[in-house]
Amino acid sequence: MSIGLLGKKIGMTQIFDHKGSAIPVTVLQLGPCIITNIKNIQSDGYNAIQIGYEKVNSNKLTKAEIGHLQKAGAPNLKYLCEYRVSSVENFKIGKILNVNEFKIGHLINISGNCVGKGFTGYQKRHNFSRGPMSHGSKNHRQPGSIGAGTTPGRVFPGKKMAGRMGGNKITIKNLKIIDINIEENIIIVKGSVPGKSGSIMRINKE
């Protein structure tokens, strides 16, 4: 895996190409991120780069987090993320990463938490069909039978039932970079990405 960036989702809009076709795009603000730790095979058993994003006040972090960042000479950063790399020779602690790492036309993978929908029923959550709506039926949105009787005498874990929907980590692959604004650390990608505006995004190079 190549090293990526952390950023925020600004929102969605559309742009028009030279043919006049509307292209749905998502605007992301990435970085700048700071390398806060470097792991290698000798000390940790694998090669990885840890980066930090978004400066915050010290009261937003624990003493352990503050000490870890001070050891690297980094400011107080709210989000930390680790990327495995094949070699750590070209990285050093304190190096700043920004959208210069990307180019227009590159394909990237974007991960984030999708929008939470709260507690939902089994029809919305699992696309179950409803019961009959007429002829005296009283089984419209009920889940129906959920298990056997005497044997096994219980409901197996993992049964598709009502519960909390959304809020899961989703990764969208092969999103094409349409445009880059280096001054504002903004990139525009074709298509949609998980999460609402302001959500933290994790970007990997394809």
Which tens digits make up the pLDDT trace of 134-178? Answer: 989 888 998 888 888 888 889 999 999 999 999 999 999 999 999
pLDDT at 177: 94
Q: Tell me how far apart the alpha carbons of residues 93 and 51 are, in angstroms, rounded to a whole number.
A: 9
Q: Tell me how far apart the alpha carbons of residues 85 and 2 are, in angstroms, rounded to a whole number.
A: 6
Q: Tell me how far apart the alpha carbons of residues 84 and 17 are, in angstroms, rounded to a whole number.
A: 36
pLDDT at 86: 87
**Structure tokens that stand for 40 in this block:** 């290698």
Q: How many helices (H) and strands (E) does the chain have?
A: 3, 12
User: Does a structural domain hold residue 109?
Assistant: no
Give the total number of structural domains in the chain: 1
User: Does a structural domain hold residue 146?
Assistant: no
Q: Which residues pair with 101 in a beta bridge?
A: none
CA within 13 Å, CB half, 109: 12
Which tens digits make up the pLDDT trace of 91-137? Answer: 889 889 989 888 999 999 999 999 999 999 999 999 999 989 998 98
Which tens digits make up the pLDDT trace of 31-48? Answer: 899 999 999 999 889 999
Taking a C-beta distance cutoff of 8 angstroms, is the pair 31, 77 a contact?
no
Give the domain range for residue 121. 115-135+154-166
Taking a C-beta distance cutoff of 8 angstroms, is the pair 131, 78 a contact?
no
User: Does a structural domain hold residue 128?
Assistant: yes
The average confidence (pLDDT) of the chain is 91
User: Does a structural domain hold residue 122?
Assistant: yes
For residue 124, what is the DSSP state? H
pLDDT at 85: 87
